Structure formats: C-alpha cells, structure tokens
C-alpha cells in the first residue's frame, strides 16, 4: 500500500513539475511579447498598438503557479545540508534528519494549503476579481491550494519513507 501511494504521489508531482516548466515558458514569452509590443508602440509613436492589458498579471500568476507546481517534485531533492555539522553523523541519523525536515516541509505545505482554501472560499463569496484581467480570484486560490495539497502529501509521504529507509530507494 505504501509503495503504491508513493508512486502515485510521485507521478502527480512529476506532472505538476512539467506544468511548472510549461508555465515558465509562458511567462518568458509573455514578457518578451510585452516588451516588444511596448517597444514597437514607442518606436512608431503610437501608430502600431499591439500592447495588451494584463501582462503583469500573466507574469505574476505564471510565476506563482510555476513555483507552486515545482515544489511537490523538489521537496525531497537537494535540501541544503551543512556538511560541516552532519559529516560525522551516521547514515541513519542523516536519513532521520532529512526525513524530519521533509516531513516539516509537508506540514508547512498543508498549512499553506488550508490558508489558500480559506482564501478561495472568501473570494468566491465576495466575487473578488484580478485587477487588470478581471478574472475571478477563487479559481486561482483553489489551484494554488491543490498544488500545496500535493506538496503536503508528498512532503509527509517522502519524510515518512525516509524514516522507513530502503523503501524509498526501492521506488525510484
């Protein structure tokens, strides 16, 4: 059961990671298009106007979602460890410390998920919209909450798997 859960959560985190990469490309292209369109507008003294409203919001929300979608995949990879303090520790102690840190990161993701879910409910009740594009804010909060829920689940599962030990390596 645990192996199946780890594989399912890892697969979902990988899909979110791919989405994160796509959103980074979208963000980059929207910045390039916005800069080019503004430059063209300025160069032609306003005769050619292909500028668009909401470029800053597109970049802002693309960055938000690219980061939130990358977190679940990266939660157990490459955490910063100060080797000066941990080099003398046994492998078991290092594994337990890494597992504890990953588990805490998962709990933090769960708390953020809960807060974004509350914000989604409040935005849905109030009809809150984005400033430029006038999109409803509640779906933005719900998607962020989902990505953070995956982060929480993966952090907890990965942290516990690190405590168990070889089970994690068998699934990779």
Let me know how many helices (H) and strands (E) the chain has, helices first.
6, 0
Spatial contact of 74 and 13, defined as CB atoms under 8 Å apart: no
> What value does the mean pLDDT of the chain take?
87
The answer to whether the CB of 108 falls within 8 A of the CB of 149 is: no
Q: State the residue range of the domain holding 119.
A: 2-170
Q: Tokens in use for 59?
A: 């970049």
Digit-coded pLDDT (tens) for 144-166: 999 999 999 999 988 888 887 65
Is pLDDT above 50 for 16? yes
Total domains, the chain: 1
At 26 the pLDDT is 94
Q: Which of 41-45, 68-72, 120-124 has the lowest mean pLDDT?
A: 41-45
Residue-wise burial string across 3-39, b where 16 or more C-beta atoms lie within 10 A, e elsewhere:
eeebeebbeebeebbebbeebbebbeebeeebeebee
The pLDDT score that the predictor gives to residue 80 is 60
pTM above 0.85, yes or no: no
Name which of 143, 146, 138 is nearest 119 in CA terms.
138
């Amino acid at each position: 059961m645990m192996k199946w859960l780890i594989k399912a959560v890892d697969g979902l985190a990988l899909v979110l990671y791919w989405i994160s990469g796509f959103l980074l490309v979208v963000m980059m292209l929207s910045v390039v298009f916005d800069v080019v369109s503004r430059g063209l507008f300025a160069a032609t003294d306003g005769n050619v106007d292909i500028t668009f409203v909401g470029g800053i919001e597109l970049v802002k929300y693309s960055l938000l979602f690219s980061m939130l979608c990358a977190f679940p995949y990266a939660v157990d990879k490459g955490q910063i460890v100060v080797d000066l303090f941990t080099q003398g520790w046994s492998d078991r102690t290092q594994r337990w410390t890494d597992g504890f840190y990953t588990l805490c990161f998962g709990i933090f993701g769960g708390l953020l998920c809960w807060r974004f879910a509350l914000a989604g409910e409040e935005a849905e009740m109030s009809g809150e919209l984005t400033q430029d594009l006038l999109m409803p804010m509640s779906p933005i909060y719900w998607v962020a909450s989902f990505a953070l829920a995956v982060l929480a689940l993966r952090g907890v599962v990965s942290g516990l798997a690190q405590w168990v030990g070889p089970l994690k390596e068998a699934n990779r």
